[in-house]
Amino acid sequence: MNLILIGYWVNKSKYMFEESKKYADPTKLQDKSFWESRDKAGVIAYLESGSKVNQYKGMSSCRICQQGVGSSERSDGTYAWPDRMEHYIKEHDLKIPEEFYEHIKANSFKVPESGANMPMYGYRFDETFWIEWSKKYLTDFEEKTEDIALRARAAMEKRPMVVQETIERGAKDIQEEIDNEILKDLEKKFTKKGMRNG
């Protein structure tokens, strides 16, 4: 059985960015006005009542506020979405694809019976629709990484100076240490001499 997978976001962490940058940036989807003319509570209730159709080991966290948001997927028999997707709508006013909203509305905001008690495994998740929709809301994070690269390069160019400073500071410390040793040595000799003379 094929399910239309939705509700995945870009992950800006170092190791997840490359493979997830095809997904929308949730911060670009925050839109209070989208919900002014739509049934937000109805959508939230709908998302909460889908069947669990997949379970992961790790807990996922909200891309906006870092709160834990679940580790499974839910479905109504047509679409599949990450468990706790409603968090993004409830807490951050994320808009959803118009097609998905119309689909929920056509079901009178109630998961159809055929989608209410689905078995846990055995589906193919198709994300073509979601990736296509995400294209309008991709992150500009890459530009930021470029900024970071530029700053790093500028810092590298300054490095010889920093290294020089460190060497000078180190040399000064070593010189002081040697001076102290010499002084101590002289002190000892002086004391011994003094003892011998005394």
Where along the sequence are the contacts to Zn ion (CB under 5 A)? 62, 64-65, 67, 91
Which amino acid is present at 22? K
Residue for token pair 């890459």: 142
Question: Strand order of the sheet with strand 51-61?
Answer: 51-61, 68-75, 79-82, 2-5, 124-126
Contact indicator for 23, 7 with CB cutoff of 8 Å? no
Phi, psi of 29 (to 5 degrees): -105, 0
Which is nearer to Zn ion, 65 or 163 (by Cβ)?
Answer: 65
Which is nearer to Zn ion, 39 or 93 (by Cβ)?
Answer: 93
Which is nearer to Zn ion, 27 or 78 (by Cβ)?
Answer: 27
Name the minimum Å distance from CB 2 to Zn ion. 29
Name the minimum Å distance from CB 26 to Zn ion. 9
d(CA 80, CA 26): 18
d(CA 116, CA 114): 6
Which is nearer to Zn ion, 32 or 189 (by Cβ)?
Answer: 32
Contact indicator for 28, 104 with CB cutoff of 8 Å? no
Which is nearer to Zn ion, 68 or 112 (by Cβ)?
Answer: 68
**Which residue's CB comes closest to Zn ion?**
62
Name the minimum Å distance from CB 172 to Zn ion. 52
Which is nearer to Zn ion, 91 or 132 (by Cβ)?
Answer: 91
Contact indicator for 115, 73 with CB cutoff of 8 Å? no
Name the minimum Å distance from CB 90 to Zn ion. 9
> Residue 176 half-sphere exposure, CB side, CA atoms within 13 Å?
6
Name the minimum Å distance from CB 171 to Zn ion. 53
Name the minimum Å distance from CB 180 to Zn ion. 59
Q: From the CB of residue 16, how many other CB atoms can be counted at a distance below 10 Å?
A: 11
